[in-house]
Amino acid sequence: MSITFKNVDFIYSPDTPFSYHALKGVDLDIPEGSFTALIGHTGSGKSTLIQHINALLLPSSGEVRVDDFIITATDKPSVLKPLRQKAGLVFQFPEYQLFEETIARDIMFGPVNFGMPEDEARAVAAKTLEMVGLNDTYMERSPFEISGGQKRRVAIAGILAMDPDILVLDEPTAGLDPQGAKEMLRLFKSLQKSGKTIIMVSHDMNQVLEYCDHVVVMNKGRIERNCSIDELFKEKDYLSSLSIDLPVITAFINDLNSQGFHLDHDIKDIETLVKAIGGELHE
Amino acid sequence: MNSMVFGRYLPVDSFVHRLDPRLKIGALLALLITVFFDAGFLGYALIGLFVVVALILTKIPAKMVVQAVKPMLIMLLFLSVFNLIFLHTGKLVAKVGPLSIYSGAIFQTIYISIRLVLIVSLTTILTASTKPLDMTLGLEHLLSPLKVIKFPVHEVAMMISIALRFIPTLVEEAQRIMKAQASRGVDFNEGTFKEKVFAIVSLIIPLFISAFQKADDLANAMESRNYNPEARRTRYHQLHWRLADSFVLGLIVLLCGTIIVMSIVL
Ligand SMILES: Nc1ncnc2c1ncn2[C@@H]1O[C@H](COP(=O)(O)OP(=O)(O)O)[C@@H](O)[C@H]1O
Ligand SMILES: [Mg+2]
């Protein structure tokens, strides 16, 4: 399930006075099985880019390859329908897509659309509902009478129920409480460990450091970096030119090192950091 | 839906953009009425010339006019076919099998086509050159004499401006929801009747919920600012009638007058 962009350009409303060139010469390889972060300013083209992965948008020129699917400007959307099951896309604020009478029916909606029999889909719905941290008493409740955070979980379950090999998430934790955000991210991490490729748009560098292993930086419709997390956070000046803050831990390590410590840049969690500091103090 | 251009504001600066919205709304109304006076081809040539000059002065690209007219083509085709089959005035021009085509029908068809293109072009000039908020402000001014008969001019203008303000938002929202449901395997283009109904339901329900939510939020925001439609208010944004407006007004009165007189005399 590899994803490759080859010289992709995308123009919104071409040939009108309102046209907007949103992607410019995008070349990109997303490693299979990675947890890739997509970062960049608002308006840099992140949401536009990810909608190419399940062919909601077709490139104006260039081509996108997802596994055996080749997506070009002239493809018919109906030919690409099976791709939508393989690459599940969770939009920003996906709670607005809920519409069924019960939560169970809403989660089943995707799998049934892709041809799964109803009873099987119901079992899958129960399983995914549990994965997102809601017990089965929620199955028969209306999706409109639960809290915003719970709606988000149900909407994400609706995509997970399709069992996609690639999971694309557009700012999945925006507006969630820290505890809820953590639970969601742990779920995505465990899905990666089970072999799925995860692509996540995020503005929170602490999340990126803790959960992702690969990062793509977009700026004004172009890809500016495509590297590992460790490499990106070494580029202090570049990040500050984009006014992206370093993760708290990395910033702290930098501060300590400028005061004479020799800590490893790649440390990602507090426990390791505490041990490393303790070790240096002992010497 | 992305390429919907009819009724959209074109954010450029031009002579027509700077004209007073009251003038533009009034002129559109007068011209729309005038288009239905039959002053022969000369009359339409006059209005046509006026429209072409106005389009150029508004800096509307030819492409945009074509795209605005395009959706009307089907209607036009329909009307033409009906006209050609059923209208039997004038001289018999041709006989194709059981069909007889008369000169009156041909003229009528050409007239209707010209009228439609003129109407669409005129409306496009107004909407492309006038911001929605200016439009309602102008409308409120034009309707203000109705206050005498207790017509709620301000409320109506407010409602229209809110409705106009939310059209693009709702279109955007609808596109977003369609994409989200397409990601869950909904096919909005193909499928059986039952699948199509389901597709529409999966769009309409979230759209309604979000529209009601937005209306509720807006109402709360207005109330928390103590909005009272009956309060006397001054305006930050004032309309200014300039010399150019008087000049254009004169021109339009002259044009409409000429055509109406021509249609009566001829
Ligand atoms: N439907 C659309 N029509 C026209 N322009 C759009 C549309 N969607 C997004 N854009 C423009 O494309 C650019 C990139 O948008 P987007 O991909 O949503 O950025 P991001 O997700 O990085 O914030 C923005 O400048 C935005 O205004
Ligand atoms: Mg976005």
Instruction: Dump pLDDT digits (tens) for A141-172.
Output: 999 999 999 999 999 999 999 999 999 999 99
Q: Ligand 1 centre from A212 Cα, in Å?
A: 25
Size of interface A-B (CB pairs under 8 A): 75
* Nearest CA distance, B196 vs chain A (angstrom): 12
Using CB atoms, pick whichever of B3, B190, B206 lies closest to residue A99: B206
- Angle made by CA atoms B126, B128, B134, in degrees to the nearest 5: 65
pLDDT at A175: 86
Q: End-to-end CA distance of chain A, in Å?
A: 48
Is the pLDDT at A45 greater than 90? The verdict is yes
Cβ contacts of A185 within 8 Å, gap of 6 or more: A173, A207, A210, A211
CA distance to A231, B127, B153, B155, per residue, from B167 (Å): 45, 14, 21, 18
Strand partners, B99: B96
Mutation choice for B interface testing from A86, A95, A96 by most B CBs within 10 A? A96
Q: What percent of chain A has pLDDT over 90?
A: 67
Ligand with smallest separation from the Cα of A92: 2
**How far is residue B164's CA from residue B171's CA, in Å, rounded to a whole number?**
12
Helix B243-265 and helix B40-57: axis angle, to 10°? 160
Q: Which residues of chain B have pLDDT under 70?
A: 1-6
pLDDT at B83: 82
pLDDT at B3: 46
CATH fourth-level superfamily of A3-246: P-loop containing nucleotide triphosphate hydrolases (3.40.50.300)
Residue of B nearest to A51 (CA): B179
pLDDT at B77: 85
Single-letter code of the amino acid located at B244:
A
* Nearest CA distance, A114 vs chain B (angstrom): 6
Confidence class of residue A27 from pLDDT cuts 50, 70 and 90?
very high
Mutation choice for B interface testing from A97, A100, A156, A162 by most B CBs within 10 A? A97
**How far is residue A202's CA from residue A40's CA, in Å, rounded to a whole number?**
8
Q: Any alpha helices (H) in A147-269, and if so which ranges?
A: 148-160, 178-193, 205-211, 229-234, 236-241, 248-258
Q: Where are the domains of chain A?
A: 3-246, 247-283
**How far is residue A200's CA from residue A220's CA, in Å, rounded to a whole number?**
19
Q: Ligand 2 centre from A194 Cα, in Å?
A: 27
Using CB atoms, pick whichever of B2, B179, B184 lies closest to residue A158: B184
Quick one: DSSP state of residue A246?
P
- Structure-token match 């002053």, residue found: B39
Residue among A243, A95, A100 at smallest CA distance from A176 = A95
pLDDT at B2: 43
* Nearest CA distance, B40 vs chain A (angstrom): 35
CA distance to A134, A176, A190, per residue, from A183 (Å): 12, 10, 11
Contact B184 A113 (CB under 8 A): yes
Residue of B nearest to A14 (CA): B3
Q: Using CB atoms within 10 A of its CB, is residue B210 exposed (0-12), middle (13-18) or buried (19+)?
A: middle
Q: Concatenated DSSP letters for B211-236?
A: HHHHHHHHHHHHHHTT--TTS----S
Confidence class of residue A186 from pLDDT cuts 50, 70 and 90?
very high
Q: What percent of chain A has pLDDT over 70?
A: 99
- What was the ipTM of the complex prediction? 0.89
Contact B8 A18 (CB under 8 A): yes
> Which atom of ligand 1 lies at the shortest distance from residue A49's CA?
17
Confidence class of residue A118 from pLDDT cuts 50, 70 and 90?
very high
Ion ligand 2: residues, Cβ under 5 Å: A 47
pTM of the predicted protein model = 0.79
Cβ contacts of B119 within 8 Å, gap of 6 or more: B32, B35
**Strands A214-219, A222-228: pairing kind:** antiparallel
**Strands A3-12, A20-30: pairing kind:** antiparallel
- Residue B112's CB is within 10 A of a number of other CB atoms, namely 15
Contact B185 A162 (CB under 8 A): yes
Quick one: DSSP state of residue A59?
-
